[in-house]
Structure formats: structure tokens, C-alpha cells
Amino acid sequence: MSRRLEIGAARLPGWMARFAARHPGATAQVTADGVRLDTPDGAWAEVTAWPGIRPEPSPTGLIGWDSLADWAAGPPACAFVLIRRGGWAVGLSQGDRLVRHRTGRRYVQSRTAAGGWSQQRFARRRGNQADALVVHVAGVVEELVGQWRDDPGQGDVSSGGLALNGLVLGGLVLGGDKALASAVLAELPGAGAGPGNSRAGSSRAGSPATLMADLPRRELYDLPDPRLVVLRSALTRARSAVVTIDDPALR
């Protein structure tokens, strides 16, 4: 039976080397999103990180364990949008540091067992609260990205991207409630119509929606209500590899 691990980027080369040492004759193959290890004794492991970002093999086709640390860490600069009905967190990272972040709470009523007209009124009120939450968080995303883009001496969109200290924004981490996170992206200026997006027609080069639309993504929808500590945890996980392993010796 396979099991799933999350291994920090810095620890990944050592883990790979130990796995290969336990299984003489292990082979490694680069896949679309990671590395597959197979062994003569039937053990195997699949290592993934950021979807769509492949590790680079050596000129001989072999995988160098040390190079996998940088691959697993993902893009040097990332945006984070974490949202649940009980809270939200938005951040921008450079390497293993949060360089911008905002967190908050906006109350959205939980479900009720009431029926009839009471249930319908509750559903409308709850929907309005969720829409307001989405609009608020989208505004925070726009503000933080705008601060980064417009920071004198740091922001640079001349290449069509968003850069800080020479690092182009290269990844987006979404977490919490999947539907709410998607709604936040749809609410950003330059995106399609969202819950209250009267600016949907303001599509322009350099808008938050344009900058984030095609970024590689990590999705962490198992996160609890976002707080600063949860945002920091998301940064750690975004800089980790996901390993699915089946090792008969460990069963």
C-alpha cells in the first residue's frame, strides 16, 4: 500500500539518496511533473512538486539528487491566496520569506437545519456574506500586488511580469476553500465577472488577473482557517516535494 509524504526541498536530495541506497539498482526517470524511481525489488516512489515544472536531468539523462532541492522549492517568488469562511490570508514570498502579507477574519454564518422561508433568507444572507468576503480579499490581493509592482527600485513589469529584486513572480499558491479561492481570482481586475466585479472590463497588461492567470499553481485545500501561522505553513509546504511511495520493506 502506498503512502504520501511531504518533504522539504532542502531535505529531498538526502531522502532520494537514502532511498536509492536501500534499493540497489534503483532507476530514476523524469516525468511531466517530477521524478519516478523504480527498483528491482518492487519498491517505487513518485516525487512531484509544482505542476508543470519538470526537474532538469543532466546531459547524460541522469538525475542529480542535489539539483532536486531547487526544483522542489519551486519559483523563487510566489503569491499566496488562502481563504475560508472563517478567515483569509494573502501574501507574497521571496525564497523562504514572506515579504508582504495581510490576514483577517470576516464572519460568514454556518449552515442551519432550519427549513422553509427561514432557510431561504439564511441562504441569501450567507451568500451575500460570502460574496462580500470574496470582494474584500480580491481587493487585498490587488493592493499587495500593486505595492510590489509600484515599489520604486524594486517593481519592474517591463518584461510583462512582476519582479521584486530581480525575481519575477513565478508561482501562485491557493488554499482553504476551493470555490472561494477561485471566486477571488475571478474578482480580480482584468478577470471575468465575479460576485461584484464591476471592473471586469478593465483588463490591462500588468493587472493582477493577467499576472496570475498562467502562473504554475500549488493547491492546498486541506488548510484550516487562514491565519499568519497558516500562511507560513503554506509557504513551507509550497517549498516541499510530495512523495508517494510503496516500499515492501516498510509494510
Grid coordinates representing 167 are 525575481
How confident is the model over 179-230, as pLDDT tens digits? Answer: 999 999 999 987 764 455 545 444 445 567 777 878 899 999 999 999 999 9
CA separation for the pair 20, 223 (Å, rounded): 32
Q: Comparing C-alpha atoms, which of 157, 160, 169 is closest to residue 100?
A: 169
Q: Dig out the grid coordinates for 121 from the structure.
A: 433568507
Q: For residue 86, give the C-alpha cell.
A: 472563517
Q: Tell me which residue of 215, 154, 164, 156 sits closest to 188, measured CA to CA.
A: 215
Of the ranges 54-58, 89-93, 207-211, the best mean pLDDT one:
89-93
Q: Is the pLDDT of residue 19 over 90?
A: yes
Q: 211: alpha, beta or left, given left = phi > 0 and alpha = psi -120 to 50?
A: alpha
- Residue 37: other Cβ atoms inside 10 A: 20
Are the CB atoms for 220 and 56 separated by under 8 Å? no
pLDDT at 169: 85
Average pLDDT over residues 31-47: 93
Least confident of 23-27, 116-120, 145-149: 116-120
Whether residue 11 contacts residue 217, with contact meaning beta carbons closer than 8 Å, is answered with no
Could you say which architecture CATH assigns to the domain 77-235? 2-Layer Sandwich (3.30)
Q: What is the percent of the chain with per-residue pLDDT over 90, rounded to a whole number?
A: 53
As a whole number, mean pLDDT of residues 43-59 equals 87
23 pLDDT more than 80: yes
pLDDT of residue 153: 43
Helices (H), the chain: 12-22, 68-73, 116-150, 178-187, 208-213, 228-238
Q: What pLDDT does residue 237 have?
A: 98
DSSP per residue over 16-70, as a string? HHHHHHHSTT-EEEE-SSEEEEE-TTS-EEEEE-STT-PPPPPTTSPPPGGGHHH
**Averaged over 91-102, what is the pLDDT?**
93
Report pLDDT for 160.
45
Instruction: Assess whether pLDDT exceeds 60 at residue 120.
Output: no
Domain ranges of the chain: 3-73+241-250, 77-235
Q: What is the dihedral of CA 229, 235, 241, 242, to 10 degrees?
A: 50
The chain-wide mean pLDDT, for the chain, equals 81
Q: Residue 85 and residue 223: Cα distance in Å, rounded? A: 12
Query: Rounded mean pLDDT of 57-85?
Result: 85
